[in-house]
């Protein structure tokens, strides 16, 4: 795993989600990026049922990423995070009397996976209960694990196909002392997706955005 | 160019309902060597694997009903190995003719943040112990001979005291639900260990 940045790209004016995604694909292909299969990231929300103390409980998120197909990531907003194997999903079924799955809250991002030299780019359509809610772009620079060392390079690369929509350095990196980036798991990536998904959940449904 | 490596769908092993078939017994410390000797002769691996594990038992109390129990285990011998989280269901009432205790079982490998994560989920540590011993295998059968020790100072696994003057002996098999023939195999294996150890179907509820 390298350094990963996940951001939301606004839908181009007068265009649908699908048209904007196609436009991004075209730009990437013009750059010379090669399509390498597809990807998905999904997120389910659970809330604790029996709360003895009466305080509002934190939500538990269980996520999957096609890049690590045998793993299951469980997160609380702001931590702690847990990486487990796929049996964790079975455990959540057993725990259903304590943690209820908010079915309508399932968010996922699916799309194409491109490779351009040391960069991996994933352009996904973010959907919630089968309606498209937005576009996610994940860029990973695989050749480095220290965000501070490669952020400018990543930014420049992103500018080449995102134009002015390039995000600021993700907060997961700024909150960490430089050089201490742990590349072994994809939690940094997942917490960025989680942030994006929570933003998408709160936003209004886009007009005419049903998924084909 | 080669086909891309990552387009596979995740393996959703979740649909398989695994059951643990279990027989338990114990031997006094002085009889341990003769039991290990017998197991060396009967099992696949000539030399047993040794282990030293620290197990923490967590409870999640709901508004009603029994608490939800999870067991988190870590290896003391291999501190970088993943944690092992285990859910064990209630023993099946089932027919009396079955030779082993049968209960639902979910095994999850997890990262080292597991204790923090369980706490955040609302679980509280109920008790902990250290288990040291040997594992033998014969096909799908698993034999575990272990010494259980209580942890005297919470969290400090260097400071322990044996729970008893004997070793716990467990014979178990993990199989999909409904494969009751495995309990036959277990019974015949247990027969071969007599009179060194008597493995029995023990209902944990009876001991509470």
Count of structural domains within chain B: 1
Q: Residues 6 or more apart from B149 whose CB is under 8 A from it?
A: B129, B130, B131, B132, B160, B161, B162, B163
Judged by CB atoms closer than 8 Å, whether chains meet at B12 and A48 is answered as no
Is residue B103, in this structure, part of any structural domain at all? yes
Q: Do A48 and B11 touch (CB under 8 A)?
A: no
Q: CB distance B121–A113 less than 8 Å?
A: no
Counting as low any pLDDT under 70, the low residues of chain A are: 50-56, 176-185, 204-212
The CATH class for the domain spanning A3-202 reads mainly beta
A98 Cβ under 8 Å from any chain B Cβ:
yes
Closest Cα in chain B to A52: B63
Q: Nearest CA to A41 among A71, A3, A9?
A: A71
- Residue B13 is nearest to which of A76, A83, A87, comparing CB atoms? A87
Asked if B171 and B194 count as a contact pair (C-beta separation under 8 A), the reply is: no
CATH number reported for the structural domain that contains residue B61 in this entry? 2.40.320.10
Closest by Cβ to B62, choosing from A80, A97, A115? A97
Residue A122: how many other CB atoms lie within 10 Å: 24
pLDDT value at position A180?
Answer: 59
Q: Any alpha helices (H) in B43-123, and if so which ranges?
A: 114-121
- 8 Å CB contact of B63 and A83: no
- A 67-96 residues inside an 8 A Cβ radius of B: 67, 69-70, 74, 76, 80-91, 93-95
In terms of residue numbers, what domain contains B170?
A: 18-198
Q: Which residues contact A64 (CB under 8 A, 6 or more apart)?
A: A40, A41, A42, A71, A72, A73, B10
Residues written for chain A: 212
> What's the confidence (pLDDT) of residue A55?
60
pTM of the model: 0.88
What pLDDT was estimated at residue B5?
Answer: 42
**Cα–Cα distance for residue pair A134/A110, rounded to 1 Å:** 11
Radius of gyration of chain A (CA): 18
Q: So what's the pLDDT on residue B179?
A: 83
CB atoms within 10 A of CB A189: 25
Chain B CB contacts of A38 under 8 Å are: 7
Q: What is the rounded end-to-end Cα distance, in angstroms, of chain B?
A: 62
Contact residues on chain B for A89, CB-CB shorter than 8 A: 12, 14
Q: How far apart are CA B91 and CA B81, in angstroms?
A: 30
C-alpha B84/C-alpha B92 separation (Å) is: 24
Examine residue B2 and state whether it is found in any structural domain, yes or no: no
Output DSSP code: residue A193.
H
Under 8 Å CB pairs connecting chains A and B tally to 106
pLDDT at residue number A48: 87
Residue among B133, B29, B116 at smallest CA distance from B76: B133
Q: What is the pLDDT along chain B (208 residues), one digit of tens a residue?
A: 343 444 333 444 445 788 999 999 999 999 999 999 999 999 987 788 999 999 999 999 887 778 999 999 999 999 999 999 999 998 887 667 788 999 999 999 999 999 999 999 999 999 999 999 999 999 999 999 999 999 999 989 999 999 999 999 999 999 988 888 898 999 999 999 999 999 999 877 766 6
């Amino acid at each position: 795993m390298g350094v990963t940045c996940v951001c939301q790209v606004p839908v181009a004016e007068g265009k649908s989600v699908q048209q904007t995604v196609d436009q991004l694909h075209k730009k990437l292909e013009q750059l010379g990026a090669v399509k390498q299969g597809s990807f998905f990231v999904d997120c389910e929300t659970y809330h604790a049922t029996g709360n003895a103390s009466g305080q509002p409980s934190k939500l538990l998120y269980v996520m999957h990423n096609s890049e690590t197909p045998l793993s299951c990531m469980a997160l609380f907003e702001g931590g702690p995070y847990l990486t487990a194997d796929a049996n964790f999903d079975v455990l959540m079924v057993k725990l259903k009397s304590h943690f209820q799955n908010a079915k309508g809250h399932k968010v996922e991002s699916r799309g194409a996976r491109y490779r351009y030299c040391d960069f991996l780019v994933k352009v996904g359509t973010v959907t919630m209960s089968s309606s498209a809610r937005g576009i996610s772009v994940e860029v990973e620079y695989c050749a480095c694990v220290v965000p501070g060392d490669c952020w400018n390079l990543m930014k420049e690369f992103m500018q080449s196909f995102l134009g002015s929509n390039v995000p600021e350095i993700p907060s997961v990196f700024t909150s960490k002392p430089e050089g201490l980036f742990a590349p072994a798991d994809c939690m940094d990536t997942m917490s960025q997706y989680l942030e994006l998904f929570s933003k998408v959940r709160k936003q209004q449904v886009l007009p005419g955005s049903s998924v084909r | 160019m080669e086909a891309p490596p990552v387009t596979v769908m995740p393996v959703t092993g979740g649909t398989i309902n695994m059951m643990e078939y279990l027989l338990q017994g114990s031997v006094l410390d002085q009889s341990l060597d003769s039991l290990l000797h017998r197991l060396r002769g009967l099992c696949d691996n000539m030399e047993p694997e040794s282990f030293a594990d620290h197990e923490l038992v967590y409870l999640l109390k709901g508004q009603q009903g029994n608490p939800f129990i999870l067991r988190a285990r870590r290896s003391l011998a291999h501190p970088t190995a993943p944690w092992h989280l285990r859910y064990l269901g209630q023993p099946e009432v089932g027919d009396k003719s079955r030779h082993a205790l049968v209960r639902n079982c979910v095994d999850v490998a997890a990262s080292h943040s597991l204790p923090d994560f369980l706490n955040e989920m609302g679980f509280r540590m109920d008790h902990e112990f250290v288990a040291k011993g040997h594992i033998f295998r014969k096909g799908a059968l698993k034999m575990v001979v272990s010494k259980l020790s209580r942890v005297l100072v919470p969290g400090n696994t260097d400071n322990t005291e044996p729970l008893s003057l004997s070793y716990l002996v467990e014979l178990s098999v993990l199989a999909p639900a409904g494969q009751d023939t495995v309990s036959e195999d277990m019974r015949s294996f247990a027969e071969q260990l007599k009179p060194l150890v008597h493995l029995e179907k023990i209902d944990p509820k009876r001991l509470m």
